[in-house]
Amino acid sequence: MRTAVENIGTIISGEWRTPLVDADTVICDDGTINRVGRSLDVGGCDVVIDAGGATVIPGLIDSHVHIAFGDYTPRQNTIGYLESYLHGGTTTVLSAAEVHVPGRPKDVAGVKALAVAAHKCFENFRPGGMRVHAGSLILEPGLARQDFDEVRADGVWLTKAGFGAVQGASDYIELVAVAKEAGLMTTLHTGGCSIPGTFPVTGQDVLDIDPHISFHINGGPVAIADEYFEPIARDTEIGMQVCAAGNLRTAILAGEMAKRHDAFDRLLIGTDTPTGSGIMPLGMLYTITHMAAVGGLDVVELLCAASGNVGRMYGLNNGFVREGCDADLVIIDAPLGGTKGTALDAMANGDVCAIGSVITQGEPRFVGRSRNTPPTTRPVTVAHSTVLREF
The 3-class SS string of 166-223 reads: CCCHHHHHHHHHHHHHCCCEEEEECECCCCCCCCCECHHHHHHHCCCEEECCCCCCCC
The mean pLDDT of 306-312, rounded to a whole number, is: 98
Residue 191 has pLDDT above 90, yes or no: yes
Quick one: pLDDT band at residue 197, thresholds 50, 70, 90?
low
The burial of 196, by beta-carbon neighbours within 10 Å (0-12 exposed, 13-18 middle, 19 or more buried), is given as exposed
Residue 196 has pLDDT above 90, yes or no: no
Count CB neighbours of 180 within 10 A.
16
Q: CA-CA distance, 204 to 198, in Å (whole number)?
A: 17
The burial of 120, by beta-carbon neighbours within 10 Å (0-12 exposed, 13-18 middle, 19 or more buried), is given as middle
Q: CA-CA distance, 246 to 365, in Å (whole number)?
A: 30
The mean pLDDT of 181-188, rounded to a whole number, is: 98
Quick one: pLDDT band at residue 179, thresholds 50, 70, 90?
very high
Over residues 39-51, the pLDDT tens digits come to 999 999 999 999 9
Q: CA-CA distance, 247 to 223, in Å (whole number)?
A: 7
Over residues 62-89, the pLDDT tens digits come to 999 999 999 999 999 999 999 999 999 9
Domain(s) labelled CATH 2.30.40.10 in the chain stretch across 2-58+320-385
- Pick the residue with more confidence: 221 or 348? 348
The burial of 208, by beta-carbon neighbours within 10 Å (0-12 exposed, 13-18 middle, 19 or more buried), is given as middle
Q: CA-CA distance, 283 to 300, in Å (whole number)?
A: 17
Specify the pLDDT at position 154.
98
Specify the pLDDT at position 194.
72
Helix axes 145-153, 108-123, angle to 10 degrees: 20
Specify the pLDDT at position 294.
98
Identify which of 243, 245, 249, 209 has the alpha carbon closest to the alpha carbon of residue 226.
249
Q: List Cβ neighbours of 235 (8 Å cut-off, separation of 6 or more).
A: none
DSSP state for residue 365 in the 8-state scheme? E
Q: Which listed CATH number (3.40.50.1980, 2.40.50.100, 3.40.1690.10, 2.30.40.10) goes with 2-58+320-385?
A: 2.30.40.10
The mean pLDDT of 110-114, rounded to a whole number, is: 98
Q: CA-CA distance, 375 to 302, in Å (whole number)?
A: 23
Domain(s) labelled CATH 3.20.20.140 in the chain stretch across 60-281
Identify which of 328, 23, 134 has the alpha carbon closest to the alpha carbon of residue 319.
328
Residue 108 has pLDDT above 90, yes or no: yes
Q: Check if the beta carbon of residue 366 is closer than 8 Å to that of residue 91.
A: no
Q: Check if the beta carbon of residue 273 is closer than 8 Å to that of residue 287.
A: no
Over residues 203-260, the pLDDT tens digits come to 999 999 999 999 999 998 999 999 999 999 999 999 999 999 999 999 999 999 999 9
Q: How far is CA 103 from CA 19, 98, 111, in A?
A: 45, 11, 11
Q: CA-CA distance, 317 to 314, in Å (whole number)?
A: 9
Q: CA-CA distance, 190 to 241, in Å (whole number)?
A: 10
Count CB neighbours of 390 within 10 A.
9
Residue 198 has pLDDT above 70, yes or no: yes
Classify 60-281 by CATH class: alpha beta
DSSP state for residue 342 in the 8-state scheme? S
The mean pLDDT of 338-347, rounded to a whole number, is: 98
Percent of the chain with pLDDT over 90: 93
The mean pLDDT of 308-335, rounded to a whole number, is: 98
Q: How far is CA 316 from the centre of its chain?
A: 11
Which has the minimum average pLDDT: 110-114, 196-200, 357-361?
196-200
End-to-end CA distance of the chain: 14
Q: CA-CA distance, 52 to 272, in Å (whole number)?
A: 34
Specify the pLDDT at position 134.
98
Q: Go through the chain and tell me how many residues it has.
A: 391
**Average per-residue pLDDT for the chain:** 96
Specify the pLDDT at position 141.
96
